[in-house]
Structure 1
Amino acid sequence: MSRPVVAGVDGSSASLAAAEEAARAARQRDRPLHLVHGFLHPLGYGVPLNPYDLGLPAPTDGAQKMLEQTARDLTGRWPGLRVEVRQVAGGPGATLIEESRRAELVVVGSRGLGGFAGLLLGSVSGQVASHAHCPVLVVRPTEEPVPTEGPVLVGVDGSESAELAVGYAADEAARRGTDLVLLHVAPTDGTATPGREGLVTDGAGTRDRAEAPDRVEAPERAGHEPSALLATAVAAARGSHPGLTVAGRTVRADSAGQALVEASGQAVLVVVGTRGRGGFTGLLLGSVSQALVQHAHCPVLVAHPYGQGH
């Protein structure tokens, strides 16, 4: 079965931006694109209020026309794109989570109207980000176009979740024909390894601080020496994708989320795991994820394993 890329669409500018990125992702993966509109009962619910009324709310002509027009626009800009459109009775969170069971990727915008209102900051965002059964691409609204140039960025902390994120990030970088940057965030708690403050690591060795004044090597932490951690992750990414340019960087910051947000300003995509440790603990529901989905300067890919929604 060819898993589709799924985008939730309601006609808002945010959802249309998400649909555009979904089209890009579908073409890169050679997958079909499914545009889905979750519609509700006129009183705001996906099921009738009368428990003896087994009927479901009907799809609307206006929504169908919006979906079909969006599909026409996308196929015009992306030749060869295969698009299907569908209205689904139900709330947006439940709709997209159910669609994710059979999807290659779910793409959402951070704001919407109707069935997808408050997609990131409200309950829907929590539902989709926490419970999807496949990776979720979040397209944040900005006044500028979605970036198309720059490296793919991924946070590294030695956890299994981060390892999965590195694999997804390497795949994305290879598809996009761009570089991959692995970032490890160390605390600014004064525990730097003596005599090492003037060095910076790139995952393959160290060099003088003067060559890269914006980064310093991190101390040992939780049993992982950062340069070794990065070297291992860089080697794994290079081994799985020969020819891919991969760099490992360590930064010291008070906030892992803020460090990633700042670094995202130079990236085309930032990839995060669903769980981590150290600077990435509780990534989906904690400060790091909230910082990224609310403030990242590029789209954010949440690296859910396939078929393992909660």
Structure 2
Amino acid sequence: MTTSPDNSVVVVADGSGSAGHAERWAADEATRWGARLRVTRDLAVPSLIEESREARLIVFAPGGEPVTALALVTDGHCPVAVVRGRKLEQAPPVEGPVVVGVDGTPASEPALALAFAEASSRGADLLAVHTWVQFSATSTDSYARDHLTSTADIAVEESELLAERLAGWQEKYPEVTVHRVVSRNRPVRFLLEQAEHARLLIVGSRAGAWFSDLSHGSTSQALLFGTPCPLIVVRAAITDEMRTR
């Protein structure tokens, strides 16, 4: 498979103890997609954001510069990966499903696009996770929903919402076996639980969805730097074109 100048995987070699895992994972990802691998030690945020305009993925190690990784997730132009194993001394997992968080809105589409492509390329099952707490992403009357609608009815509504989001992608990737999980739970907590048995977790970064405030907030950073498997964060603004490079 040939490469093009804008088809690269960039790994930030920051000197942290887990950087070796991140570099090897990035190399495998580049090989899988026929992309060039570029290793950089430049942690200047403006430089990396500019580089993200032409990269398909930028990869960090969890022990590196959290501020830099957070800035790339917030303002970058390509997906951002943070790679670790079950423990820092272990390699990232190569078995288990690809897990994707689906918030029930169109903002999930870029993450779904990448998740189906990654599952297909790896020959892995896809676990699509949707959580709800007090009200649906489509609800305009949370009081009526909370007090006049039964939990069972809400669960059915949320399951239908997830099915609608997956329908087109399942037709595009018929070879991918999809498992749906709908849970009344906190999204970050539940995603971390599912990641325990995953080879890869993919989420979107739309404000108010999986990350409510990427520059602050312990739960956001817990997901970004505490996920027990490699994590890819896809900004909602990233289009399908980015993943066809």
Normalising by structure 1, we get a TM-score of 0.64
Change (3 A) 1:97 1:259: same
1:19-58 equivalent positions in 2, closer than 5 A? 19-38=23-42
Letter in 1 for 2:107: S
User: Does structure 1 residue 245 correspond to structure 2 residue 191?
Assistant: no
Distance 2:162 2:15 in 1: 42
Change (3 A) 1:124 1:276: closer
Larger helix proportion of the pair:
2
Distance 1:274 1:188 in 2: 20
User: Does structure 1 residue 194 correspond to structure 2 residue 150?
Assistant: yes
Shift of 1:272: 0.8
Q: Is the 8 A contact 1:157 1:276 kept in 2?
A: no
Q: Is the 8 A contact 1:256 1:280 kept in 2?
A: yes
Question: Which residue of structure 2 lines up, in the alignment, with residue 181 of structure 1?
Answer: 127
% identity of equivalent residues: 34
Aligned partner of 1:131 among 56, 75, 90:
75
1:1-310 equivalent positions in 2, closer than 5 A? 1-2=4-5, 3-38=7-42, 91-112=43-64, 119-120=65-66, 123-140=67-84, 142-143=87-88, 144-187=90-133, 191=146, 193-194=149-150, 196=152, 218-219=154-155, 225-253=157-185, 255-275=186-206, 277=208, 280=210, 282=212, 284-285=214-215, 289-304=220-235, 305=238
Distance 2:16 2:218 in 1: 28
Shift of 1:161: 2.1
Distance 2:212 2:16 in 1: 31
Change (3 A) 1:131 1:276: closer
Deviations 1:120-147 (A, max 9, x none): 2xx2122122111111111136233211
Deviations 1:55-113 (A, max 9, x none): xxxxxxxxxxxxxxxxxxxxxxxxxxxxxxxxxxxx4323322221211111111223x
Letter in 2 for 1:29: W
Letter in 2 for 1:249: V
Shift of 1:37: 1.7
3-state DSSP of counterpart to 1:13: coil
Question: Which residue of structure 2 lines up, in the alignment, with residue 47 of structure 1?
Answer: none
Shift of 1:276: 5.3
Deviations 1:173-204 (A, max 9, x none): 111110111111122799495383xxxxxxxx
Shift of 1:282: 2.5
Deviations 1:257-310 (A, max 9, x none): 111111110111111111055x536264556532311321111101131699xx
Change (3 A) 1:281 1:31: closer
Q: Is the 8 A contact 1:7 1:108 kept in 2?
A: yes
Change (3 A) 1:130 1:281: closer
Distance 1:240 1:16 in 2: 35
3-state DSSP of counterpart to 2:41: strand
Question: Which residue of structure 2 lines up, in the alignment, with residue 203 of structure 1?
Answer: none
Q: Is the 8 A contact 1:257 1:287 kept in 2?
A: no
Change (3 A) 1:99 1:195: closer
What is the alpha-carbon root mean square deviation over aligned residues? Answer: 2.6
Q: Is the 8 A contact 1:148 1:268 kept in 2?
A: yes
Query: Structure 2 stretches of 5 or more lacking a match?
Result: 136-144
Letter in 2 for 1:172: E
3-state DSSP of counterpart to 1:182: strand
Distance 1:262 1:175 in 2: 24
